[in-house]
Amino acid sequence: MKGLTDFMRASQLYAPTLRQMPAEAETKGHKLLLRAGFIRKAAGGIYTYLPLAWRTIKKIEQIIREEMDAAGGQEIAMPIIQPAELWRESGRWDVYGAEMMRLTDRHDREFSLGPTHEEMVTALIRDEVRSYKQLPLLLYQIQNKYRDEIRPRFGLMRGREFIMKDLYSFDKDVDGMNTSYQKMFDAYTKIFTRCGLKFRPVEADNGAIGGGHSHEFTVLAESGESNIACCTKCSYAASDEKAELKPLTAADEELLPVDKIATPGAHTIELLADYLKIPVEKTIKAVAFADEADGRLILAFVRGDHEVNETKLLNATGALHLVMADDDAIKAAGGCPGFMSPIGIDGAKAVVVVDATVANMKNAVTGANEVDFHYKNVTPSRDFPAFCQIADIRLVKEGDACPKCGAPLTLTRGIEAGQVFALGTKYSEKLNARFLDETGKEKPFQMGCYGIGVGRTMQAAIEQNGDENGIVWPRAIAPFEVAVVPINGKDEQQLSFAQKIYDELKTAGIDALLDDRPERAGVKFKDCDLIGYPLRITVSPKGIENGEVEVKVRKTGEIFVFAADAYLTEVQNLLREL
């Protein structure tokens, strides 16, 4: 394969496999990357990529480059070290907070280690691009990014230094931006398909980056950190943060007057439902947050069996970042932790958001803002104060109705390997990046940004495809496609036969490795399984004698024996299916 260093001999390849498992690894992918000699940790969330990993990384990058270029992208390389001033212009120097790695030079000038490059690329464009005739413009790079994660974990899944492809699109209008967005969406679909991964593009929340619509490309894997909701009937799929929910309606029943009742010790929903012998669906749960930015109290109310979706709550309140509220703040607003409801809350001291499903409830039980007391027969539409804001703030759960067609949603775990954002003019306006349109009018650029975690994609492939014996690489991103293994690495005849096969594979354009190590067969077989070469060709005295070539498929464990003069075609056929 072009551009790749050719380690043809395993005896010279630096691939320190471990027989024993380093203790700290958590997920399948993290364990296998360490065990199979792909990565080594330098510090929390910071890793060295060893030769095998780097080959895979380069293959993934190559696929990305080809698809980015095909979609009209041009590769550039922006600095990792970025001046603080740029981030102050966009307002993100403070917004990004502790997540940003910062440094100071000898003159006390402040810099960041780029966590992303919207500011940088926008500043680049604003000084150079003056006319709509120069648009659209799609620029991308593949390089290290830095984020001081609160808790790095799972190896390459959540690192503090990681490789990312980021592309930025600049268009003259919204239509143009949507066209660029669609190009990227299609390119991402091709990239993950070519990488041999099972994935799902899902509607996503834009989060802190802002802007309009967004999709995440989620690689399906049990060990993933994100949940996606997929419709069992139609094509709707969304991240759990995003998944919209229509409010549930309550059964018709006669509205009863509110009644205050003693509920000693019932400070959780479970205790309460238990004590009153009512279903949790008849209770209303309170969750108290504070906006980290201005400290204001935010009270969220959802049905007893539901959970608060913090992302939706953020969007509903315009808060910056939610933290747990402390009890004093709750009490100051008239609330009572453990026995809370909107009734009796001082609307001037708290933002109260009621989930749309709660707004439809009838004769429910809710706290009385007094220790050991609740109200029963509360009907929010009648009894809740007017300052309550009603919004969809609940987290999706298995079986909820699809917002598009009403069929049940199913929840699946996955790894967010890529995300595309339609940004609009958020950054171009902040940074004053404008051009002249056809009518000579000055306009801000319509932007989009599109990221792929390269290391994360590599690990995602393992999370999805590894088994108890090791990695099972999709052929397109395997460090080598075929390993040629003479069972006796000291036997001249076997070695030269293996060498001949190796040469033939290379000539046919197959990325092969010759395992010429003087190890016992068992050791080499174990390593092959661990490292996960899609195919293994075993060279034995028996095979040489019979003029046969033995091929083992890592994924299925199948073993094929081909005639020596015909094996090459068969190997190519097998590879095509992997």
* Residue with tokens 């360490």, as numbered in its chain: 34
How far is it, in rounded angstroms, from Cα 361 to Cα 309? 19
- Residue 152: cis peptide before it, omega within 30 degrees of 0: no
Q: Is residue 40 within the footprint of RNA (CB under 7 A)?
A: no
DSSP code of residue 443 = E
Whether 395 and 222 have beta carbons less than 8 Å apart is answered as no
Whether 136 and 171 have beta carbons less than 8 Å apart is answered as yes
* Residue with tokens 């300052």, as numbered in its chain: 387
How far is it, in rounded angstroms, from Cα 45 to Cα 161? 7
Q: Is residue 41 within the footprint of RNA (CB under 7 A)?
A: yes
Q: Is residue 543 within the footprint of RNA (CB under 7 A)?
A: yes
Which 344-403 positions form the footprint of RNA (CB under 7 A)? 367, 395
* Residue with tokens 């980015």, as numbered in its chain: 68
CB nearer to RNA: give 198 or 413: 413
For the range 379-382, what are the long-range contacts, defined as Cβ-Cβ under 8 Å and sequence gap of 24 or more?
379/255, 380/284, 380/342, 380/354, 382/255
Q: Is residue 312 within the footprint of RNA (CB under 7 A)?
A: no
CB nearer to RNA: give 83 or 97: 97
- Interface residue with RNA, options 9, 65, 102, 153 (CB under 7 A): 153
Kind plus residue range of the DSSP H or E element containing 164? strand 161-171
- Interface residue with RNA, options 527, 532, 533, 574 (CB under 7 A): 527
Query: Which region among 47-55, 254-262, 406-414, 527-535 touches RNA (by CB under 7 A)?
Result: 527-535
- Residue 380: cis peptide before it, omega within 30 degrees of 0: no
CB nearer to RNA: give 110 or 148: 148
Q: Is residue 331 within the footprint of RNA (CB under 7 A)?
A: no
Q: Is residue 268 within the footprint of RNA (CB under 7 A)?
A: yes
User: What string marks each residue from 55 to 74 as x (binds RNA by CB under 7 A) or -?
Assistant: --------------------
Q: Is residue 109 within the footprint of RNA (CB under 7 A)?
A: no
Whole-number Cα distances in Å, 290 to 208, 322, 369, 494: 17, 6, 18, 70
Q: Is residue 295 within the footprint of RNA (CB under 7 A)?
A: no
Q: Minimal CA–CA distance to 485: which of 472, 498, 501? A: 498
CB nearer to RNA: give 8 or 269: 269
- Interface residue with RNA, options 77, 251, 324, 386 (CB under 7 A): 324
Q: Is residue 521 within the footprint of RNA (CB under 7 A)?
A: yes
Q: Is residue 303 within the footprint of RNA (CB under 7 A)?
A: no
Helix (H, G, I), strand (E, B) or coil at 312: helix
CB nearer to RNA: give 52 or 197: 52
Provide the binding-site residues for RNA, judged by CB under 7 A.
17-20, 22-24, 26, 35, 41, 43-45, 150-153, 267-269, 285-288, 307-308, 310, 323-325, 327, 330, 337-340, 367, 395, 469, 487-490, 518-523, 525-530, 538, 540, 542-543, 550, 552, 559
